Amino acid sequence: MKKVVLLGDSIRLIGYGKPVERALSADFEVWQPDSNCRFAKHTLRGLWDWRKELEGADIIHWNNGLWDVCHLFGDGAFTPIDQYVEEMVRLAKLLLQRARTVIFATTTPVREENPHNSNADIAAYNAALLPCLRALGVRINDLYTPLIADVSRYIRADDLIHLTEEGIVLCAERVERAIREAAERLSDTPPKSRGACDSKKPGAPV
Angle at 120 between CA 128 and CA 153, to 5 degrees: 115
From CA 143, how far away is CA 150, in angstroms rounded? Answer: 12
CB-based burial, 132-156: b 16+ in 10 Å, e otherwise: ebeeeebbebebbebbbeebeebbe
CATH number of domain containing 137:
3.40.50.1110
CA dist 120 and 168 (Å) reads: 22
Q: What is the pLDDT of residue 198?
A: 40
Mean pLDDT by 10 residues, the chain (206 residues): 98 98 98 98 98 98 98 97 99 98 99 98 99 99 99 99 99 99 80 43 44
Domain limits for position 77: 2-106+131-142+168-185
Q: Is residue 17 part of a domain?
A: yes
CB 64 within 8 A of CB 39: yes
pLDDT for residue 141: 99
Contact residues for 192 (Cβ-Cβ < 8 A; gap 6+): 100
Q: How many domains does the chain have?
A: 1
Give this prediction's pTM.
Answer: 0.91
Please give the pLDDT value at position 191. Answer: 53
Classify residue 13: in a domain, yes or no. Answer: yes
Q: Is residue 84 part of a domain?
A: yes
Beta strands in the chain (DSSP E): 2-7, 28-31, 57-62, 99-105, 139-141
